Structure 1
C-alpha cells in the first residue's frame, strides 16, 4: 500500500520516515519530496508497505502523531505521486 505523509518537518528525510513506519511492518520504500530549485523538502512524502493490514495499522496509529515538532497527516495515497490528489510540480524530486 502506498501511504501519503504530509505536514512533515522540513528536516525529515526518507530514512527517518522509514524508521517511524518500520515498527508496524516491512517498509519497501520511504521518500520525501524535495523541491529541485531550492533543494528543500516540500513537507510531504510517501511510504510503501507491502502488507495492507500493517499499512492500515500504521495509518491509524501515526495519523495525528507528532514527528520532530509537527503533527503528521498520514493517509492512504489516492493515486500516483503527483496525481490529482497530491501536489504536482515539475520542480519536485524524491529523496530517500
Structure 2
C-alpha cells in the first residue's frame, strides 16, 4: 500500500519526510513529486512502508498534524486516474 502525503512545505526534502514517517515504522520509499518543467516541489508525495499496521498508524497520527508550518493531508493513496484527453 502507498500513503499519499499532501500540503507539504515546498522546502521539505525526501530525508525530512522519511524521518517523520520513521517514527511509525520502517520506510521503504519516499517519492516527492516535482514539476517537470521547473523541477520545483509540487507540495505532495508518496510514502511506502514495510507493514500495513505501521502505515495505518502513520496515517492516523500524521493526518492533520502541523509540520513545517502546514497542516498535512495524509491518507491511503488512490489509484492514479487516467488523465488522457480522450473521453468515451
Q: TM over 0.5: same fold?
A: yes
**Aligned position for 1:92:** none
**Aligned position for 2:7:** 7
Q: Which runs of structure 2 are paired with 1:14-93 in the superposition (5 Å)?
A: 14-79=14-79, 83-84=80-81
Q: TM-score, normalised by structure 1?
A: 0.81
Aligned-pair Cα RMSD in Å = 1.4
Q: Which runs of 4+ in 1 moved over 2 A?
A: none
**Partner Cα separation in structure 2 for residue 16 and residue 3 of structure 1:** 16
Q: How many Å apart are 1:59 and its aligned residue?
A: 0.1
Is the 8 Å Cα contact of residues 17 and 31 (structure 1) preserved in structure 2? no
Q: How many Å apart are 1:62 and its aligned residue?
A: 0.2
Gaps of 5+ in 1: 89-96
Q: Max radius of gyration: which structure?
A: 2
Q: TM-score, normalised by structure 2?
A: 0.88
Gaps of 5+ in 2: 84-88
